[in-house]
Amino acid sequence: MLKIATAASFSLLSLTACLADETVSGYADPSATYHLIELDDAPFSATATIAFPQEGRVAGNGPCNGYSSIQTVPYPWFNLEFIRATRRACPELAEEAAFFAALQDMTLAEASGGVLILSNEEGRSMVFEAR
């Protein structure tokens, strides 16, 4: 009986070890930093980034502040559970507010080559380029 239980436990552990990251971080380049180039079909002139350094983790910089979050829904879905950001002021606070509001609205992700597109059913979109 112990051999059966041990074999079953080993099989289960082996199976879970083979499961791939199903979040967007499993599809985007984990070593890339993606720079926002378009917000809602208009060029984004300030600097804002997003990266996926490890499974389910999101990090980046808005025009003024660094941020991080957790993303656990499976690809192609996208949902940031809670954005934690520093609180520095800068001249681009309006652009930062627009960036974070859009990021919270995104529900779909498409990662292809060096491009990441976040979008939602209402027609909003964010286009990022890896640099």
What residues contact 9, with CB distance under 8 A and at least 6 apart?
Answer: none
Residue range 17-35: mean pLDDT, rounded:
83
Q: What are the counts of helices (DSSP H) followed by strands (DSSP E) for the chain?
A: 2, 9
The stretch 63-92 carries a mean pLDDT of 95
Question: Tokens representing 2?
Answer: 């112990």
- Main-chain dihedrals φ then ψ at residue 62, nearest 5 degrees: -85, -175
CATH of 21-130, one of 2.40.128.270, 3.40.50.1970, 3.50.50.60, 3.90.78.10: 2.40.128.270
Domain range summary for the chain, segments of one domain joined by +: 21-130
Entry pTM: 0.83
| Mean predicted lDDT score pLDDT of the chain | 88
**Mean pLDDT of the 2-27 span:** 56
Q: Give residue 21's pLDDT band: very low, low, confident or very high (50, 70, 90).
A: confident
| Distance from C-alpha of 70 to C-alpha of 4, rounded to nearest angstrom | 38
